[in-house]
């Protein structure tokens, strides 16, 4: 399974959450691509130990997108995921977090999700029809 991890560099200080997610996912056997969701200012310093890939290239072969940021980052990332019909998991490290599935303080345990014993995990299907068609129930 290939997962694109996409942190907002202005919110995820020193990419702490993204680093942790990448580590957990790799330990679980996933292929991980670390990608920025948007271009950053030229003056913004990216840590030298991190290598970011091109999100437009990596998303084409991905199975899922996990983004770290606020609602704006999640909305921006959802456009990219939707174009490729990918599920997206938003982890709130912003100020409001209305859209996020996770909050930074509880994301580590949720990334370990996988066993039936983990009550915090839910498998969900994508909702395609919010309303019945032609009045059918």
Whether 71 is catalytic is yes
Three-state DSSP class for residue 4? strand
Q: Are 23 and 13 in contact (CB under 8 A)?
A: no
Q: Are 24 and 111 in contact (CB under 8 A)?
A: yes
Q: How, if at all, do strands 2-7 and 64-69 pair?
A: parallel
Q: Which of 49, 54, 71, 129 is catalytic?
A: 71
Residue matched to tokens 């996990």:
66
Residue matched to tokens 């290598």:
51
Q: Which residues are catalytic?
A: 71
């Amino acid at each position: 399974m290939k997962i694109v991890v996409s942190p907002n560099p202005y919110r995820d200080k020193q990419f702490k959450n993204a680093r942790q997610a990448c580590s957990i996912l790799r330990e679980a056997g996933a292929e991980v691509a670390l990608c920025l969701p948007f271009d950053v200012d030229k003056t913004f310093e990216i840590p030298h130990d991190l290598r970011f890939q091109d999100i437009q290239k990596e998303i084409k072969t991905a199975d899922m997108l996990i983004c770290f940021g606020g609602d704006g980052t999640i909305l921006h990332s959802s456009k990219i995921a939707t174009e490729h019909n990918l599920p997206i998991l938003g982890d709130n490290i912003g100020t409001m977090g209305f859209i996020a599935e996770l909050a930074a303080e509880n994301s580590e345990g949720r990334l370990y999700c996988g066993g039936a014993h983990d009550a915090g995990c839910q498998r969900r299907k994508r909702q395609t029809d919010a309303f019945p068609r032609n009045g059918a129930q």
